Amino acid sequence: MMCTRRICASLFAVLVVLQLIHAIEVEDGAATSTVTIDTGDVIGAIGTNGTRSFFSIPFAAPPTGAFRFRRPQPPAPWPTPRDCTDPKSKSHSACPSFDIVGGWVLGDEDCLYLNVYTPYPLPSTPLPVMFWIHGGGYAIGDEYDKGRFDGTQLAAERGVILVSANYRLNALGFLALPELQKEDEGNSTGNYGIMDQTFALQWVQRNIAAFGGDPSRVTIFGQSAGGFSVCVHVASPASKGLFSAAIMQSGSCDTTQFFRPLAKAVEFGYRMADMAKCNRSSLSEAGFVACLRSVPTSSLLIPVLDWFKGSEGVVKNFAEAGMPALPPLYPILSFGPTVDGSQDGLPLLPFEAILKGQFAKVPMIMGTVQDEGSIFVPFAPIIVKGTSFPLTSSSIVDLMAHFFNESTTEKVLQLYPISSFDCEDKRAARILRDYFFTCGARRAADIMSSAPNNVPVFLYQFTYPAHWVENWLFGDYHSSELPFLFEDPTFLRPFKEKDREMSQVLATAWTNMAKYHKPNAAGGADGASEFYWDQYNATAYPFADLTLPPSMQYNLDGSVCEFWDEVVSWEWNIR
């Protein structure tokens, strides 16, 4: 029988008192707090700023050996309290990202850990939870990123609990093969990294109340690959009921470069297996899978030095094997979620699921930064052999032809005439921004907010003119909003007063979404900025211009996005 709100509140208050009593002093004088979860006790650090931090809590078994290329499994319980107090002593900071040189791998396969940040002491009622999914193109990154994603400020200043989790990257997280699909209980392949995220969200449902959180108020938020992942969870049957709101930052629900059709993912998967010296033609099926699970980690990563070898190395090997096409962003961003048709993986392209109304109808914030494409342009010579940086009038044609057919390339260059830009680099950056990010967010907002879905959606573009060196070079580049969101000034990026005001606007809107399921405070306008963020609709196309002062604007990228809507519908054959 369900308990009443009053009884639940009383039980929660008792839990809070017990947690306070459970706080102890360690020998160096630093205060700690112990919490009991379903696999044992974890010891967190009590900070001087009114927070508790728990680092490197295992949410799954190490995905190594027989568990490599399998869905995540429960971790083994631990009999004695686990020390989770110090991020600097963590040995499990990142999943494997790169083979730098000669088998020197950045990261460790034993990487499925998460962090929890809470206010301290806790209030008498459960707090909303924010679940952070880091970006990095499914190739790099981790849940802490040397403190860049430290959640103590949001917990201390905003009254939320923040959880951040690792997930498998590159081939280890997204290798798609029918041999692996056959042995999966849900017939999924190429989505182990997404399954890790789902597994961590399930951990939150089971355990977050012990930290003072409300499992019925979980907001997922992520940037770049984390933003793509947010849309995956919104569209995934496996994630249903695990969150109540979502924030997609610089993400997409349909960009072909980040969501891989099964046939293409499998084709590339076999080439990766060949590179790892696991050849299916010379091995039995069982031997082929066993080989993939036994080779060194470095064998499953594309060596960084091969990025610059032109026709040598991996590129030459693939070409000689007769592979018709590498992933469009190879070798830098070669993997992503696979549309495998599985209910446990990705049954449909997320945007197609949204079109069919088969998605979690939860309130959403989604948007982009003003200069999303700027940091991608310098990689053009690596991705498209023969192009140059800075781009020339001929190399921008080659770059566009890498992504589009001849007819579309011609239309794109006509839509973005060089006369509108200072140089070809800025021209390409704007094209990539609109194609990869801005118009994709608007496209998803159109469908979600319209009948019969009628989902509350809040669209934005971040345009704040920050004053640091990287902003002078790249403008409001991809991920430039994150220091303001996490309220994270550093030695290299000290905050001025205006920066603190911008941080206040951004962090308040995001945490309001967790608290009230809208970016505005419960009473209407935000108390700090007196800015009211209007809900999106597909008539006026309102969006928040997030700068100082923030304001409402309308019809973001208008006819430009209508053009890209046609391009993407043709690429996926969906309308």
Q: Which residues does residue 534 pair with via DSSP β-bridges, in sequence order? A: none
Torsion over CA: 398, 305, 67, 177 (sign): positive
Contact assessment for residue 219 and residue 192, using Cβ atoms and an 8 Å cutoff: no
| Rounded (10°) angle between helices 393-403 and 424-432 | 20
Helices (H), 435-496: 439-449, 469-474, 482-485
Helix (H, G, I), strand (E, B) or coil at 201: helix
Return the axis-axis angle of helices 262-275 and 285-294, rounded to nearest 10°: 70
Q: 185 an active-site residue?
A: no
Closest-CA residue to 106 (of 363, 356, 260, 301): 301
Give the phi and the psi of residue 459 in degrees, each rounded to 5.
Answer: -95, 150
Is residue 530 part of the annotated active site? The answer reads no
Q: For helices 262-275 and 313-320, what crossing angle results, to 10°?
A: 120
* Residue 6, number of CB atoms within 10 A of its CB: 8
Catalytic pick among 93, 224, 244, 252: 224
- List of residues 6+ apart from 147 with CB closer than 8 A: 87, 488
Distance of CA 34 to the CA centre of its chain: 30
DSSP per-residue letters across 285-339: HHHHHHHHHHS-GGGGS-BGGGGG-TTSHHHHHHHHTT-S---TTTTTS----EE
CA-nearest of 63, 80, 150 to 115 is: 150
Name the helix (H) or strand (E) containing 179: helix 178-183
Helix H, strand E, coil C: the string for 120-166 is CCCCCCCEEEEEEECCCCCCCCCCCHHHCCCCHHHHHHHCCEEEEEC
Q: Which amino acid is at 13?
A: A
Report which residue type is found at 111.
C
Task: Report the alpha-carbon distance of residue 68 to residue 421 in Å, rounded.
Answer: 48
- Per annotation, catalytic residue among 179, 352, 372, 481: 372
Burial 381-401 (b: 16+ CB within 10 A, else e): bbbbeebebebeeebbbbbbe
The angle subtended at Cα 525 by Cα 543 and Cα 245, nearest 5°, is 60
Which ranges of 33-126 would DSSP assign to H, the alpha helix?
A: none
Placement of tokens 């029988």 in the chain: 1
Q: Which residues are catalytic?
A: 224, 372
